């Protein structure tokens, strides 16, 4: 019979600082994403509010899936830019001027599209 005793000199890696940093980075990137996709979020909320009367029915499922699909398709560029922002924030700790400019371009393009409607 063997006896196992934990090594008192071994401390497992504590990744809490990395997790906290990732949470902060994702929150900041999420702020950029939310700022750039206000119109899409409003459209999604409107569609879901209209479909709420059918909650639990197959029609509600279809409406929800269609709204989610539209939101995913219309925010694909912002999602890719958000992932790039997370990567850059993890590597450098800040958003570069070029990346910030790309976020601004995305927001302006959304505003121009809304004005054209």
> What's this model's pTM, rounded to 2 decimal places?
0.78
Q: Tens of pLDDT along 12-54?
A: 677 788 889 999 999 999 999 999 999 999 999 999 999 888 8
Kindly write down the DSSP assignment for every residue of 40-107, as one continuous string: HHHHHHHHHHHHGGGTTSHHHHHHHHHHHHHHHHHTHHHHHHHHHHHHHHHHHSS--HHHHHHHHHHH
Q: Tens of pLDDT along 1-11?
A: 566 777 777 76
Indicate the domain borders of the chain. Answer: 32-116
More confident residue, 61 or 108: 61
């Amino acid at each position: 019979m063997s006896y196992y005793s934990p090594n008192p000199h071994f401390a497992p890696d504590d990744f809490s600082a990395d997790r906290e940093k990732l949470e902060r980075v994702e929150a900041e990137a999420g702020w950029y994403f939310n700022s750039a996709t206000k119109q899409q979020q409003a459209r999604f909320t409107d569609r879901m509010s209209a479909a709420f009367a059918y909650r639990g029915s197959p029609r509600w499922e279809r409406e929800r899936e269609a709204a989610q699909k539209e939101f995913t398709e219309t925010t694909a560029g912002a999602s890719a830019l958000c992932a790039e922002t997370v990567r850059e924030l993890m590597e450098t700790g800040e958003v570069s001027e070029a990346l910030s400019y790309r976020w601004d371009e995305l927001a302006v393009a959304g505003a121009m599209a809304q004005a054209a409607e």
